[in-house]
Amino acid sequence: MNFRVALSSMVVAWGLVACGGGGGSPGTSSGEVVVPPPPATPTMSLSLVDSAGTVLTSPNLSQTQSQFLKVGLKDAAGAAVPNTRVTVTLENAIAVLVPATGQLTDASGYSQFKIQPTNVTSSGVVLATAVATVSGAELTKTIDLQISSGSVELSGLSVTPQTVQKGQSVNVKVAVVVNGKPAASNSVAVEFTSSCGLATPAQAVVDSAGQASAVIQTTAQGDCSLAATAAGKTALGSYVVTAPPVTGLQFVAATPSVIYQKDSPGANTSLVTFKVIDSIGDPVSGVAVAAGLTNTDGGTNFCGSPTTATSGADGQVAFSVCGGTLPATVQVRASLVASPAKFTDSNILTIQTGLPTQRFFDISATKLNFWVGGYFTSKFNGNKTSISVFAADRQGNPVPNGTPITLVAEGGQLNTSGLSSCIITDGRCTVDLIGQDYRPMGSKATGGDPRPGRVTVLALADGEEYFIDANFNNRYDTGELFEDLGSPYLDKDESLDFAASYLNLVTLTDEGEVTYPIPAAALGTKACPTNSSIGLSAAFTCNGSWDRLTKVRRAMTIVFSGNAIGNPGFYDESIPAEKRTQTIAASKSGITVQLADYDGNPLPVGSSVAAEVRKANPDGECSATLFGSAIPNTTEPSWHSVSLEKCDSGDTVLFTVTVEDIKSGYAVKVP
């Protein structure tokens, strides 16, 4: 017997019985089975629309028009679903989305993603997939989009200006059309090339106006070609680069740099060489140069050779100088025959000066804090640090070898091979500062540093005041900005102000600061500018005029460090509290301390730092990890930290510093 037939018969029979049982309910059909509709679910829509929101029937992505993927979400009741994240992904990289990440639907349940070809050469089919989750149900829609490569045309290639000097730049621009319309922003990259320089950027993308632009820095002169290339299309242009003007002379060398008197043993002749340069520092050939001597004492002369010469292919000219019968300082002054005001001296340059200038004068030390000791610490003699002085001219060129540097110090001894000064070689020279008495005793003056053992070192050299060359003629002209300098001084108390008289804190002896001489013409009584002379010049010693010859200077502080950590309970009251050994922060997770010697200065650089846990409970598991296992190169007390694991209140961390086998410590209890 067929089960489905039997079941159907049973249902019908039941229905008949039900109907015949005394009158069924009105409107009930006999023998019908009612099947409920499937439950409603959330829905998603995905379409390609234009900038006005109109749905596009063609699935083709445009190379020029803005298009968007519009995603809509509705819940099971057909209502819009706002504030719900929608993500759209692309199966390949021939198109791009903005935004590239997901975004939320708006109040109407829609979210739009701008979509465009990656570039004008993109071609093929890309599948876009939209994904969102509504009421726990994940919804997905896809759409296939066709991309056709664009037809690119370049036009209106322009160069501005059309004529420039070598070393200057030109601006280039070209219009880019795709499929007959201005290219969309960032859709096309244009490569600019030139026979006379390099373009920046090398690949310029189209802007919102459909144009690509770049800057070409010229490196050659003549009739220059220009090409803009994109998608196999090229536009050509041209411009002219002229020779830059001759701006001056450089002193190159005097070989040898020392000559001897007539009839004395040794070389009597020196070949003094100069170079003619243009506005970008390149050599210039074929320029007539005249030479003269600033000093002819004892019959110093040009050895009977010509005093006019023409620069060669390397821009250089050379003149022979012979010594006379007297010892003398000699300078050869070379000038351009066509422009006599453009000149330079064999050891003092006017245009590209060669003199040290203040902005390019610097000082440093291998050790800012080394074991010597100050007033409240143990003392040790003989250790040293190397002080290096760096000197360059106004354009960053090293000053000539042989330029002398003078150094003075507030304490210790400056000494290298028996000299406290040094001679520049390759832009620098070095003198050692040896640790010994005198050890400074701190300042009682307002604004001065009260800590002993801090030594100011000052370096001085003959140089010039820095100026801003507004008209690029490589020389100072009236009205141009400059940095006025007055009398240099040794800032012993580190106050950045000259103190002709002040007392130290220990013996109350007058430590009075002193100034150092500068050429009389550079000295004045005017206030020195606060934007360039802080700590460099004594007050009211500037003259308000640019000085080609003055003293350039630079100072630094070197610390004569003690060899033991200062105990917080044993500091002299003159040492500032913030400079003493102390706990900066402490908790069960970590401790940070400041370590200083008894003068409130850092301990010696390179000294090893260690941290040791002392447990209150022998069975405890407290451990510490130290950060910074050596004292740094510094003029101020140093900070050191440990991280703690499984430590309890009462456990102690002992910080130790070892200086040449001498160990000292500072203990901090875990709170």
Q: Tokens for 113?
A: 């993603």
Confidence (pLDDT) at 186: 80
| In contact, 80 and 73? CB cutoff 8 Å | yes
Q: Is 89 helix (H, G, I), strand (E, B) or coil?
A: strand
pLDDT value of residue 13: 39
Q: Which of 191, 47, 200, 31 is nearest to 111 (CA)?
A: 47
Pairwise CA distance, residues 145 & 410, whole Å? 80
Nearest to 653 by CA among 641, 662, 661: 641
Residue 13: inside a domain, yes or no?
no
- At 665 the pLDDT is 96
**Same structural domain, 319 and 372:** no
* Domain closes at, from 209, 242, 275: 242
Tell me, what CATH number does 165's domain have? 2.60.40.10
The domain boundary residue, chosen from 561, 581, 603: 561
Which parts of 464-524 fold into alpha helices (H)? Answer: none
Contact between 160 and 90 under an 8 Å Cβ cutoff? The reply is: no
- Residue 85 CA: distances (Å) to CA of 51, 96, 101, 139, 396: 22, 19, 10, 11, 58
Say what the pLDDT of residue 540 is.
95
Record the tokens describing residue 59, joined without a space.
Answer: 């699935």
Same domain, residue pair 378 and 432: yes
How many domains are contained in the chain? 5
- The pTM of the full predicted model, rounded to 2 decimals, is 0.52
| 214 and 75 together in one domain | no
Cα 636 from Cα 602, distance rounded (Å)? 5
594 & 503 share domain:
no
As given in the structure block, the two tokens for residue 615 are 């447990």
CA–CA gap between residue 241 and residue 218 (Å, rounded): 8
For residue 6, report the phi and psi dihedrals to the nearest 5 degrees: -60, -45
In a domain, 24, yes or no: no
Find out whether the peptide bond into 36 is cis, omega within 30 degrees of 0.
no
CA dist 492 and 497 (Å) reads 10
Question: Contact 656/664 with Cβ under 8 angstroms?
Answer: yes
Whole-number pLDDT of residue 347 = 66
Looking at the fold, whether 279 and 238 belong to one and the same domain comes out as no
- For residue 107, give both structure tokens: 């109040």
Pairing mode, if any, of strands 137-147 and 60-61?
A: parallel
What pLDDT is stored for residue 260 in this prediction? 59
In a domain, 447, yes or no: yes
Which residues, in sequence order, are CB contacts of 7 under 8 Å at separation 6+? none
408 within 8 A of 433, measured Cβ to Cβ = no
Residue ranges with strand state E in 179-287: 181-182, 189-194, 197-200, 203-205, 211-218, 222-230, 233-242, 246-255, 269-278
Would 645 be classed as within a structural domain? yes
List the one residue out of 659, 664, 636 whose CA is nearest residue 454. Answer: 636
Beta strands 60-61 and 85-90, pairing class: unpaired
Output 396-401 pairs: Cβ under 8 A, ≥24 positions apart.
396/360, 397/352, 397/354, 398/424, 398/426, 398/427, 399/354, 399/355, 399/356, 399/424, 399/427, 400/251, 400/347, 400/354, 400/424, 401/257, 401/425, 401/426
Same domain as 395, residue 497: yes
Q: In Å, how far from its chain's centre is CA 498?
A: 33
Which is nearest to 97 in space by CA: 124, 72, 61? 61
Q: Are strands 361-365 and 413-414 parallel, antiparallel or unpaired?
A: unpaired
Using DSSP, state whether 222 is helix, strand or coil.
strand
Residue 268 and residue 185 share a domain: no
The domain containing residue 648 runs over which residues? Answer: 568-669
Q: Is residue 332 part of a domain?
A: yes
Return phi, psi of residue 82, to 5°: -85, 170
Clarify whether residues 183 and 142 are in a common domain. Answer: no
Point out the domain boundary residue: 561, 590, 617.
561
The conformation of residue 406, written as its DSSP 8-state character, comes to: E
For residue 309, how many C-alpha atoms fall within 13 Å in the half-sphere facing its CB?
21
Q: Cα–Cα distance between 521 and 263 in angstroms, integer?
A: 39
Report yes or no on 15 lying in a domain.
Answer: no
CB–CB of 346/250 below 8 Å?
Answer: no
Kindly state whether residue 9 falls inside one of the protein's structural domains: no
Residue 317 forms part of a structural domain: yes
**Which residues of the chain fall below pLDDT 70?**
1-31, 258, 260-267, 297, 325-329, 347-354, 473-474
Q: Are residues 489 and 407 in the same domain?
A: yes
- Same domain, yes or no, for 133 and 162? no
Query: If you ran DSSP here, which 8-state letter would residue 618 be given?
Result: T
- 271: domain CATH number is 2.60.40
Residue 307 near residue 290 (C-beta atoms within 8 A): yes
Alpha carbons 481 and 468: distance in angstroms, whole number: 5
Backbone dihedral angles phi then psi of residue 14, each to the nearest 5 degrees: -60, -40
Residue among 258, 256, 255, 261 at smallest CA distance from 298? 261
Q: What span, in angstroms and rounded, lies between the C-alpha atoms of 496 and 537?
A: 9
Beta strands 189-194; 181-182: pairing state: unpaired
Question: 325 and 427 share a domain?
Answer: no
What is the bridge-based pairing of β-strands 163-165 and 222-230?
Answer: unpaired
Residues 649 and 520 in one domain: no
Q: What would the two tokens of residue 43 be?
A: 């829905």
Closest C-alpha among 168, 163, 315 to residue 246: 315
| Number of CB atoms found within 10 A of residue 58's CB | 9
Phi, psi of 298 (to 5 degrees): 70, 10
